[in-house]
Amino acid sequence: MAMSEYEIDVRTNKDLGTDTFVRDLLSAWCTELDERIRPQFFDVGEPVRRSFEGEGVEAAIRTWVDGGMPLMLRRKDAPRFTVDINWRGHRGIDQRLFPWSCTVWLASGAGDKLAVQLLRFLIDHFEPAYGHCSTYDEHRSKHFVVYKDGAAQAEQYVGLDVGETLPGVYWVTYFGSWAIDKIGRTPFEDLAAHKVERIGEGYLVSAYSSAKEAGSARAREAEDRIIQHLGRKLFFDKRLIDLDALKTDPKTSALVQAKLEEIKAKKGKDP
């Protein structure tokens, strides 16, 4: 079976709307990285069709900064990728410690070396509390749940936020300074893993040699050893999720169901 695409993700509380951050990020991404992982198109949402070559990096910077909305980025030449950056100028009632993220879905043909290079680049610019690189299938298997909510089937991703727990351990996992403070530095000094690298105040941990191993019994065993060593209670585990806690309360569920029935009835009357 062919490996699914890479999924690269970082979680941060950094202000992603300043001219300095956006200029440094986009300028470096479009000129300094390996040309095979440089974005070609940008826009504030789908479809992502505005061209860096046609409009220039400055147009992308101004679109993000002046509009107060982060960009989606895309590369259409091989290896293809899509980038989704989540950020708002004001948190509002959002109480999460690290509410902002950057997620990249990168074609598997890019290879491990380029995937890790891109993760390192994001770590350098987003200064995240936590990040990882794995495959889309592996990430989905650890965080996607489907359940019955009233009369409807619901589905969502769970355990992605950094706070009370960390999302997990993957092929490559980055523990930033906040995560190190939570776990402690000593456990990383004798951590049995394929590779442990110090990056600034954080650690980049490779559980096994290649993303192609993700999801295998050997890979899961390697991840579990790391989790056990760092502290199992500090990591999200989908097997322990209480699906009932995700369901809407009976009153809200009834209102949703009534609305669905209303829409269904209306469709039945339309010619």
CA distance 151 to 129: 39
Residue range 69-80: mean pLDDT, rounded? 97
3-state per-residue secondary structure call for 188-245 = HHCCCCCEEEEECCEEEEECCCCHHHCCCHHHHHHHHHHHHHHCHHHECCHHHCCHHH
H/E segment holding residue 51: strand 50-51
Least Cα distance to 26 among 2, 66, 51, 61 occurs for 61
What's the chain's average pLDDT? 92
C-beta separation of 162 from 258 below 8 A: no
Residue 269 pLDDT greater than 80, yes or no: no
The domains of the chain are located at 6-16+87-269
pLDDT tens by residue, 11-55: 999 999 999 999 999 999 999 999 999 999 999 999 999 999 999
CA dist 241 → 117, 157, 162, 231 (Å): 33, 11, 16, 18
C-beta separation of 171 from 206 below 8 A: yes
Tell me what percent of the residues of the chain surpass a pLDDT of 70.
Answer: 90
Provide the pLDDT for residue 266: 58
